[in-house]
Structure 1
Amino acid sequence: MDLTPPPPAVPQPPLPQPTLASAEFWRSGADGVLRITHCGDCGRYCHPPLPRCPSCRGPALKLEPVSGSAVVVGFTVTHQTWLPSFPPPYVVAVVALAEDDRARLTTNIVGCEPDRVHIGMRVRVRFARPDADAEVYLPLFEPDPDATTPGPLPEPREVRNALRPMASPRKYEDRVALTGVGQSQVGRRLMVDPLSLTVDACLAAVADAGLDLDEIDGLSTYPGPSPDGFSEGGTTALTEALQLRPTWVNGAREVPGQIGSITAAMLAVASGLCRHVLCFRTVWESSHAALVRSGQWLPAGGRATGMFEWRTPFGAVSAAQWIGCNASHYMHRYGVGREALAAIAVTARAGAARNPEALYRDPLTPDDYYDARMVTTPFGLYDCDVPCDGAVAVIVSAVETAYDRPRPPVLVEAVGTAILERLSWDQDTLTHVPQSQGPSAHVWTRTDLTPADVDVALLYDGFTFNALSWMEGLGFCGPGEATDFVAGGRTIALDGELPLNPHGGQLSAGRLHGYGFVREAMLQLREEAHGRQVRNARVAVVTAGGGVPSGAMLLRRAW
């Protein structure tokens, strides 16, 4: 009897789960021909398949053969192992089809060394069939041997043209105030029940507002029940834990960024449905990752579904990779390097050094930034935020109750929520993080204030490029001008023209997933940001959302 163990199986890339809409696409490469959805009425090509044409909204859509020629319009070289079937380095790229540069695929560039890949590279399709038992053909792309010149790039689209005027002169923002804020313990691998963290933050926020639990008549959270360390169980879990009796609850995921749950609470209060809504956000990613590594928590398996259907089969499983593709396009288009990203990372660490709650407080120099290991180009270690465990809670109250509270209220000047770009990581905006432009443009239509009135900026920095995208989207500088604007960090320092994330942001203080920025804005405007207080901070801008959808807020002092 042969007891020799069999050779280890070769890891296979995760397969997509074909749907009723996409199955024909995944099968169609069997003959080596790329087929893309085409509109018979206006000639538009689009991807992934849609039931209506994104240009004319007509129904005459059919999968049609195309040349298979494309141009690399964004890419990232991944140096970190995300999946066993994708040993680094490998290239994730966004390619635009020769027939229509609005139709793009997230894919891999194969057949050449990763350092040969560049923006404008002409490529052609070739197919791989990872599993002989599955009718799935993955479109990969290789250098086009006949190409002699770079290919054309899609031009940026002006999204502000689609802005609408205010629907009513009555602003819901004027009817609400932020009256309380609380935070739990924050740390790496706390190994604490996430619901316990939520309770701690919520009780602290309720006390900060001078309320008791029986006065809480609404609950709002993001994203509701969610796996992988992103939730404590939502409004149901908290209602049970504290035996609350809310009139209204919200636990939606598709809101304008993580702080969209706070926006929803504002709408509930402004409508008269509630008077005091408790908003909360809990993460325990750090402990969850430790449990998975130890085998105590089994990760979810199966085929890739939802938006991951179009990314996971190519090893594009992290937002670092998706955003890295856009960052590469930005750097190519505007002819800049990583200088602005370095300044943002170093500034964040300087802020964290003044914040005793921050996770990483050791000094960080520009040399440290550039010498750090690469994660996925152009992002190195210090371009990426810090997964952690923690919870933040915020109270949204009716404005007429705000001045009876023990702390000065923070008023809401304007909220930006408009969707002016496609809610896609690869089919529309390439120059910046998707959805940083629409909410940014929208927020200024709801106020007489301008970027010059902002005293402190709390900009989402899941990656350094996110903060850069928000900075330009909000109009603090023009497209491609961030490198000159930040001036090596002088402009965004604590005493600079636009202090950025004085608490250290998610890059150094910890990824509290949007809510940490609201808390810091409230502390700054209440003059309670001890050791890092921006002098005479009267107006703060807050953004949240590392992609789609996203949102922005302007907050101001009440006195």
Structure 2
Amino acid sequence: MAGPPGRPLPQLTDQNAFFWTSGADGRLRIQECASCASLIHPPQPVCRHCRGHDMGVRTVSGHATLIGFTVNHRFGLPGLPAPYVVAQVALEEDDRVRLTTNAVGCDPDDLVLGMRMEVVFEQAGQGPAAVWLPLFRPAAEQGAPAPLPEDEVAPPVRPMAATEKFEDKVALTGVGSSRLGRRLLVPPLSLTVEACEQAVADAGLTFDDIDGLATYPGAGPFGGFAEGGVTALESALGIRPTWHNGGGETFGPGGSLISAMLAVAGGLARHVLCFRTLWEASYGELVKQGRIQPPSSPDAGWLKPFGATSAAHTLAQNAGRHFHKYGTTRETLGWIALNQRANAGLHPTAVYRDPMTMDDYLQARPITTPFGLYDCDVPCDGAVAVIVSHVDTARDLAQPPVLVEAVGTRITERLEWDQSTLTHEPQVIGQSAHLWTRTSLRPDDVDVAELYDGFTFNCLSWIEALGFCGIGEAKDFLDGGKNIARDGVLPLNTHGGQLSHGRTHGMGLVQEAIVQLRGTAGPRQVPGARVAVVSSGGLTPSGVLLLRTDT
């Protein structure tokens, strides 16, 4: 029977039509490599296992193991009102193949990781555009819950390609930020200019000294996540750079910095102005008022047809598996949220500064289980700019330079959100391992950590991946919040992070690391901070930086 209208639907192509229409006869079909018999999902023109090109289609049983689920309370779609269950299942034929789906025909409270599921199809759309969505319900016959699949063994991190490090040739010399707030309703480019003017003045430079521009994600249909990129800023300021870069497929939201470092080390520029602007709060308000229209997305991809419209839906399932495997609890995540709020209380520009208790955290309205309101970062308007300079010029500028000890950029996991690492935020483990191959410093040398916290679970993932505690040991490390307090063994997100200071997509974390290493953070200053680690992103390709003072 036809399902309710209004869900976002995938765009049928020659490559994927077999999957989205296979439910017309009630059978689930998955792409198969004819050379090695591996199942491949999403469909590809080449096998990722043997790199063969002879691809076919196999009809599978339709039985799978439930490997993740989250009960969505916050987000709703036409034809899919909240609450609903976003789930991930691993096929019984090959548990490397995972489908994002909806769990149906059951009470969410009865769902258990490892239970056996069976496919049931729901038609959506009509005519040539009709698709059959593979939904899953608990199978009639249930044995003991199956073990969850193990993550694929990641390839070892490659050793340094050369003994000379490009990091030794660069320094961070200026930093600035615009006003920050909820629904400022000002042109986003004006926020960019404010931050850039501050950063240039902070370094003791002029715009005539700037010969490079870099940003993330650049120009494009990014809604409230960008202001127009390098093109917009160049048109406003007329800098005429000798080098520029902007794009989303880089080393996370702070990827502009690493790209700028490579350009400076390679002699393409001396002073690169890197910037990141968000106006998400104002954008959402303007969409709500009907004054602007969000960019259209004709293809809903592999996740949105099932209501998985937010990174929260992916990370919530990763968090649930971490709970299942390691005994982590909501209180574990709560200590991160409480730490960030306590630090934000000392920062005059933080969006949320009021004290918060564990009861406040636990009783907040649910977003998508296990996440509540305070597990999620704060949409806001604001911009941050950082100047990357050649180290030969840095010591003659206005501020003591912050040096770059190492970067981590290696991808060792699958990039597709629902095919990647099960128990941690994807794209933190490889990058973290890579970082420590480029330095003789170790986690014990780090004085302050500014770790990406779009959600509390992002932060937990970075803590474990970077080796501040063992994999699966965050519950004990975070218990009570003492270890991550400003006077603890790992002072964490000292400005309040994105959970309380505001979502500046990683660049605010860079700004705080610079301020801490300069020793100018005022009441939130960590005494004697000489080494800082700062990460940006996750899920998308991400990056991590190890910074240090000049002495």
TM-score by length of 2: 0.98
What one-letter code is carried by the residue in structure 2 that aligns with 1:75? F
Choose from 403, 414, 419 the match for 1:422. 414
Separation (CA, whole Å) in 2 of partners of 1:285 and 1:546: 19
Choose from 216, 223, 230 the match for 1:235. 230
* Alpha-carbon shift at residue 75 of structure 1 (Å): 1.0
Is it true that 1:286 corresponds to 2:281 in the alignment? Answer: yes
Choose from 290, 309, 315 the match for 1:295. 290
Separation (CA, whole Å) in 2 of partners of 1:216 and 1:299: 34
Separation (CA, whole Å) in 2 of partners of 1:391 and 1:300: 22
**1:393-440, CA deviations, whole angstroms, 9 ceiling, x for partnerless residues?**
000000000000111000000000001111121112011000010100
* Alpha-carbon shift at residue 46 of structure 1 (Å): 1.7
Structure 1: gaps of 5 or more residues: 1-8
* Alpha-carbon shift at residue 486 of structure 1 (Å): 1.5
Choose from 404, 411, 418 the match for 1:412. 404
Is it true that 1:99 corresponds to 2:93 in the alignment? Answer: yes
Equivalent position of 2:70 in the other structure: 76
Q: How many residues align?
A: 547
* Alpha-carbon shift at residue 266 of structure 1 (Å): 0.2
Is it true that 1:170 corresponds to 2:180 in the alignment? Answer: no
Is it true that 1:146 corresponds to 2:138 in the alignment? Answer: no
Choose from 233, 240, 246 the match for 2:241. 246
Is it true that 1:529 corresponds to 2:521 in the alignment? Answer: yes
Q: 1:82, 1:317 within 8 Å by CA — same for their partners in 2?
A: no
Equivalent position of 1:467 in the other structure: 459
Is it true that 1:52 corresponds to 2:69 in the alignment? Answer: no
* RMSD of aligned residue pairs (Cα, Å): 1.2
Q: 2:5, 2:124 within 8 Å by CA — same for their partners in 1?
A: no
Separation (CA, whole Å) in 1 of partners of 2:13 and 2:379: 33
Q: 1:34, 1:66 within 8 Å by CA — same for their partners in 2?
A: yes
* Alpha-carbon shift at residue 165 of structure 1 (Å): 0.7
Separation (CA, whole Å) in 2 of partners of 1:300 and 1:405: 43
Equivalent position of 1:311 in the other structure: 303
Separation (CA, whole Å) in 2 of partners of 1:480 and 1:124: 31
Is it true that 1:225 corresponds to 2:219 in the alignment? Answer: yes
* Alpha-carbon shift at residue 29 of structure 1 (Å): 1.9
SS at match of 2:524: coil
Choose from 150, 166, 179 the match for 1:185. 179
Q: 1:102, 1:428 within 8 Å by CA — same for their partners in 2?
A: no
Separation (CA, whole Å) in 2 of partners of 1:331 and 1:19: 38
**1:475-496, CA deviations, whole angstroms, 9 ceiling, x for partnerless residues?**
1111110010122200000100
**1:76-110, CA deviations, whole angstroms, 9 ceiling, x for partnerless residues?**
10011332322111110111000001000011000
What one-letter code is carried by the residue in structure 2 that aligns with 1:392? V
What one-letter code is carried by the residue in structure 1 that aligns with 2:186? V
Separation (CA, whole Å) in 1 of partners of 2:369 and 2:318: 11
What one-letter code is carried by the residue in structure 2 that aligns with 1:221? T
Choose from 13, 25, 29 the match for 2:23. 29
Separation (CA, whole Å) in 1 of partners of 2:402 and 2:195: 18
Separation (CA, whole Å) in 2 of partners of 1:487 and 1:337: 10
Equivalent position of 2:36 in the other structure: 42
Q: 1:176, 1:397 within 8 Å by CA — same for their partners in 2?
A: yes
What one-letter code is carried by the residue in structure 2 that aligns with 1:321? H
Q: 2:28, 2:60 within 8 Å by CA — same for their partners in 1?
A: yes
SS at match of 1:484: helix
Q: 1:187, 1:388 within 8 Å by CA — same for their partners in 2?
A: yes
SS at match of 1:542: strand
Structure 2: gaps of 5 or more residues: none
Choose from 372, 378, 387 the match for 1:386. 378
* Alpha-carbon shift at residue 11 of structure 1 (Å): 4.4
Is it true that 1:457 corresponds to 2:452 in the alignment? Answer: no
Separation (CA, whole Å) in 2 of partners of 1:336 and 1:223: 34
Choose from 249, 253, 260 the match for 1:258. 253
SS at match of 1:229: helix
Equivalent position of 1:321 in the other structure: 313
SS at match of 1:549: strand
Separation (CA, whole Å) in 2 of partners of 1:141 and 1:435: 28
* Alpha-carbon shift at residue 298 of structure 1 (Å): 1.6
Choose from 301, 323, 327 the match for 1:331. 323
**1:329-387, CA deviations, whole angstroms, 9 ceiling, x for partnerless residues?**
11111122112200000000000001111000000100101111110001000000000
SS at match of 2:31: strand
SS at match of 1:162: coil
Separation (CA, whole Å) in 1 of partners of 2:268 and 2:74: 48
What one-letter code is carried by the residue in structure 2 that aligns with 1:286? A
* Alpha-carbon shift at residue 302 of structure 1 (Å): 4.9
Equivalent position of 1:114 in the other structure: 108
What one-letter code is carried by the residue in structure 2 that aligns with 1:298? Q
SS at match of 2:131: coil
What one-letter code is carried by the residue in structure 2 that aligns with 1:21? Q
